[in-house]
Chains A and B, each alone.
Chain A
Amino acid sequence: ILNVEQSPQSLHVQEGDSTNFTCSFPSSNFYALHWYRWETAKSPEALFVMTLNGDEKKKGRISATLNTKEGYSYLYIKGSQPEDSATYLCASLTGNQFYFGTGTSLTVIP
């Protein structure tokens, strides 16, 4: 079983602040890195799928980068809003198996 780790485990920020969190994963046999947004009482929703070293993806105020050589990805949120409050999950597709991290719980305080 491979370890996909996310940090921090939880985070509280003020509305308007920018923030970022980390996903680390084993770099061997890497195929893809997924980011999902998971709101309470809902299902995970896909944000990004990245495969190439140096990939950068952006969706509105949220962006992500990928370093496959050292095995990490960053998720950035610019100008956090209360509606950004959710758990952010990353998942590594390694070989033919998905491994999810335990998530970073973000709370944006109005």
Chain B
Amino acid sequence: DTAVSQTPKYLVTQMGNDKSIKCEQNLGHDTMYWYKQDSKKFLKIMFSYNNKELIINETVPNRFSPKSPDKAHLNLHINSLELGDSAVYFCASSPIAGNEQYFGPGTRLTVT
């Protein structure tokens, strides 16, 4: 069983579209995160949720919004996609904030 899963694995879409990336963890963890890996392979945190409450909100454009229907899911919704949004997005979870993180396989988003 996959501990942290993301769907889709690849997403190709046009500028201006709205898209979502789903993340699910079956580890019973309390905290989930979204990261963006930029062109230099650098991981930057975007959001984290602890028990459905946002506890970190890095300075990302408000076109990005995390949505957590329950503790096991943290989805990333992106409005009005731009070319610069092309990247690999990683979801992660940890038992509590600050503990080791378990990463999903990543979603490669390409905006054309």
Contact = CB atoms under 8 A, between A and B. Distances in A.
Nearest to A89: B43
A46 B100 contact: yes
B66 interface: no
Contact of B58 (A43, A44, A49, A97): A97
B99 interface: yes
A45 interface: yes
Contacts of A99: 45
Question: Could you tell me the dominant secondary structure of chain A's interface residues?
Answer: strand
B98 A102 contact: no
B44 interface: yes
A31 B103 contact: no
Interface in A44-66: 44-46, 49
Nearest to B99: A49
B41 A43 contact: no
Contacts of B98: 31-32, 49, 93
Interface string A63-101: 000000000000000000000000101010100111110
A31 B97 CA distance: 11
B101 interface: yes
B24 to A, nearest CB: 14
A96 B56 contact: yes
A34 B101 contact: yes
A99 to B, nearest CB: 8
Given A44-B103, A46-B102, A96-B56, A102 B40 contact: yes
Q: Which of B40, B99, B101, B102 has the largest count of A CB atoms less than 10 A from its CB? A: B101
Interface of A: 31-32, 34, 36, 42-46, 49, 87, 89, 91, 93, 96-100, 102-103
A-B interface, 4 closest residue pairs, ranked by CB to CB distance from nearest: A46-B100, A43-B103, A100-B43, A44-B103
20 contacts: A34-B100, A36-B101, A43-B90, A43-B104, A43-B105, A43-B106, A44-B90, A44-B103, A46-B101, A46-B102, A49-B99, A87-B41, A96-B55, A96-B97, A97-B58, A98-B33, A98-B45, A100-B44, A100-B45, A102-B40
